[in-house]
């Protein structure tokens, strides 16, 4: 996973440097690109558009990031292996976020299938990945609550660990790689407009939107 993500970063930065070198218009509005990137990373202003889907997606991302990093059991593993540790969230909050991760994963799939525009652009991976992400959360929840677990502890723990390992392998090979590529999306797009001389203005004129944001 680490090597794959490093490769993504190196290739992306290298290609962007080539784009800047070959661009016909090298006057890139880096401040505007940075502002646009912040809006994408923290999409508070986007919540008005497709409000329910945006809230679901936001809650999903918060839950799947916070629980693996700040669960006390996971921190204990890091401490035993590396000596590193950091403050943990309570088990009660971890339970709430775990349930949130599973519920929002299902809701994202349902909403994607129900919306005609999203359904037209979706592929198998778009439906499978959220559900696959939910698997280690479901198994981890059952590991933490053995009295609710209808399966053996050993089997559930194995599913939890191996499903998480599968995700680690898939991260650099699927759309999950956006965890490191997303910050560069706006800059790559902006540089693409600058590649041929005066490309952005010409496209705006052809679309009849000269002087308007596209």
Least confident of 1-10, 22-31, 98-107, 112-121: 22-31
Q: What is the pLDDT of residues 192-203, one digit of tens each?
A: 666 665 666 677
pLDDT number for residue 180: 83
Mean pLDDT on 177-203: 70
Least confident of 38-42, 52-56, 67-71, 93-97: 38-42
Task: Pick the closest to residue 184 from 3, 19, 62 (CA basis).
Answer: 19
10, 180 Cβ separation under 8 angstroms: no
Q: Spell out the SS3 assignment of the chain.
A: CHHHHHHHHHHHHHHHHHHHHHCCCCCCCHHHHHHHHHHHHCCHHHHHCCHHHHHHHHHHHHHHHHHHHHCHHHHHHHHHHHCCCCCCCCHHHHHHHHHHHHHHHHHHHHHHHHCHHHHHHCCHHHHHHHHHHHHHHHHHHHHHCHHHCCCCHHHHHHHHHHHHHHHHHHHHHCHHHHHHHHHHHHHHHHHHHHCCCCHHHHHHHHCCCCCCCC
Mean pLDDT on 113-133: 87
């Amino acid at each position: 996973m680490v090597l794959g993500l490093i490769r993504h970063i190196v290739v992306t930065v290298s290609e962007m440097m080539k784009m800047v070198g070959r661009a016909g218009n090298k006057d890139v509005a880096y401040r505007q690109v940075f502002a646009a990137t912040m809006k994408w990373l923290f999409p508070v202003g986007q919540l008005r558009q497709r409000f329910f889907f945006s809230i679901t997606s936001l809650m999903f991302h918060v839950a799947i990031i916070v629980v693996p990093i700040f669960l006390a059991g996971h921190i204990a593993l890091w401490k035993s292996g590396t000596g590193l540790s950091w403050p943990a969230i309570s088990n009660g909050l971890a339970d709430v976020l775990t349930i949130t991760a599973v519920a929002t994963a299902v809701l994202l799939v349902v909403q994607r299938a129900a919306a005609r525009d999203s359904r037209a652009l979706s592929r198998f991976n778009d439906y499978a990945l959220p559900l696959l992400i939910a698997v280690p959360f479901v198994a981890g929840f059952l590991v933490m609550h053995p009295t609710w677990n209808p399966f053996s502890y050993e089997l559930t723990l194995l599913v939890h660990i191996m499903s998480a390992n599968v995700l680690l392998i898939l991260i650099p090979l699927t759309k999950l790689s956006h965890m490191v590529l997303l910050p560069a999306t706006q800059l790559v797009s902006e540089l693409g407009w600058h590649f041929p001389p005066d490309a952005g203005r010409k496209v705006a004129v052809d679309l009849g939107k000269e002087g308007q944001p596209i």
